[in-house]
Structure 1
Amino acid sequence: MFSQNLRTVFLLACAVLAACTPLPPAPAPAPAAAASMPAPPWQRPGVQLLHIAPDESLLTITVRRGGALARLGHDHVVASHTLQGVVAPAPGRAQFRFRLDEMTVDEASLRQAAGLTTTPSADAIAGTRHNMLVRVLEAERYPWVGIDARRTGDKQVFDADITLHGVTRTVQLPVRIEETAGGRRLQASGSLLLKQSDFGIVPFAILGGAMAVQDQMELAFRITARQDVSAPGSIASPGR
């Protein structure tokens, strides 16, 4: 009986490893060239706009493993270093977006910062990225994630319309804001918990859910916006 049970466990482990091995199939979509972001409808002449500096901004999403065999998998951190958009400090508005196919997966420094202790292989990371873009997020069909935020009565909380996977949800977003250089530079940071299912996304799972990604995901951001940013993908002025 013991040998039979051992054989069953061995076969199950082999099946798990085979399921987690990335297939050689079609590669994930390649990033497209950045296009100018349309001006937000709330933009008005005379309203000071600060442009997001992508090289000084970061958005991360951490997803956790789940299921009965979670110990055989990994938690993951995906990140965007290509945020584009604007912030209007006076009216308390912000609009920005990023492309899913430009996100990175499991950068070592970001995994360490998130407190993740396992180390996925390069093949596992490539497989995760493919599954994320193709099977879960349908990035070719829904390439952009957009966030339109407006300040509420509480200056530290914004109402944010988040559009992901073709679905828009409004959430309350706590934000810490620091302004410097006489208002010509702004830094904003914050975090919140979201559920993939709220955006019509089915979390990735194999083996009948024995290995799966949890529905909840942790979003965190650190954004720098400046008055002097001019780069591809910046906001197009009205009338252009």
Structure 2
Amino acid sequence: MVAGDSLVTITVRRGGPLARMGHDHVVATRQLDGFIDLEQGRTELRFRLDQLTVDEAALREEAGLETQPSVDAIDGTRRNMFSKVLQAQAYPWVLVQAAFEPGRKDMLRAAITLHGVTHEYQVPLQLRADGASVLASGAFVARQTDFGITPFAVFGGALAVKDELELRFAISARR
């Protein structure tokens, strides 16, 4: 079973000619449900979009973001993200179903379902098992458009969110 000290972070970068007027963001969750089965070489995880946090100071620092948006900017990001971009009321869950690539324990084939669309990725994996616990960690890039999502933009795209999302995960599970 997945333990409470798991973490998934998504770094969302600004783009467009007016990018300097916007903010990069770190969105995160520690509220994961699911399992890791090392014997069968597979995992299934899910989390609710409405449980994502936005711009926790410590996570921004870890991501190398040097500024901290105002409370109003964070609230605006949450509103836009959940309603206009992710449509979290219609699609409340993110589902990840993954398995080791055949013959490898350092690469996952991960099917991620977001916004009603499933897209498959190859994800590099670091796996550490000791005693009763397992830690699976890694990082990869996904695109919003992979899931039929149009990246948020204003002023005709002059200030926009980049399509690429930088995902990092550290999933802790108990045997």
* TM-score higher than 0.5: yes
Q: Confirm or deny that 1:165 pairs with 2:118.
A: no
Give the structure-1-normalised TM-score: 0.72
Q: How does 1:47-196 map to 2 (within 5 A)?
A: 51-54=1-4, 56-152=5-101, 153-181=103-131, 184-196=132-144
Q: 4+ residue runs of structure 1 moved beyond 6 angstroms? A: none
User: Which residue identity lines up with residue 154 of structure 1 in the other structure?
Assistant: R
Task: State the alpha-carbon separation in 1 of the partners of residues 121 and 34 from structure 2.
Answer: 19
* Structure showing the higher strand proportion among its residues: 2
Q: Percent identity?
A: 54
SS at match of 1:141: coil
- CA drift at 1:185: 1.1
Structure 2: stretches of 5+ with no match in the other structure = none
Q: How does 1:10-25 map to 2 (within 5 A)?
A: none
- CA drift at 1:91: 1.3
SS at match of 1:116: coil
User: Which residue identity lines up with residue 69 of structure 2 in the other structure?
Assistant: P
Indicate the residue corresponding to 1:36 in structure 2.
none
User: Which residue identity lines up with residue 127 of structure 2 in the other structure?
Assistant: I
User: Which residue identity lines up with residue 163 of structure 1 in the other structure?
Assistant: T
SS at match of 2:151: coil
Task: State the alpha-carbon separation in 1 of the partners of residues 8 and 155 from structure 2.
Answer: 31
Task: State the alpha-carbon separation in 1 of the partners of residues 163 and 121 from structure 2.
Answer: 17
SS at match of 1:52: coil
Task: State the alpha-carbon separation in 2 of the partners of residues 155 and 226 from structure 1.
Answer: 18
Give the structure-2-normalised TM-score: 0.98
**Larger of the two Rg values belongs to structure:** 1
Task: State the alpha-carbon separation in 1 of the partners of residues 30 and 108 from structure 2.
Answer: 22
Task: State the alpha-carbon separation in 2 of the partners of residues 226 and 155 from structure 1.
Answer: 18
* Structure showing the higher helix proportion among its residues: 1
Indicate the residue corresponding to 2:156 in structure 1.
208
Q: Count matched residues.
A: 174
Indicate the residue corresponding to 2:165 in structure 1.
217
Task: State the alpha-carbon separation in 1 of the partners of residues 14 and 44 from structure 2.
Answer: 31
Taking only aligned residues, the RMSD between alpha carbons, in angstroms, comes to: 0.7
Structure 1: stretches of 5+ with no match in the other structure = 1-50, 228-240
- CA drift at 1:117: 1.4
How big is each residue's C-alpha offset from its partner over 1:126-149, in whole Å with a ceiling of 9 and x where there is no partner?
A: 000010000000000000000001
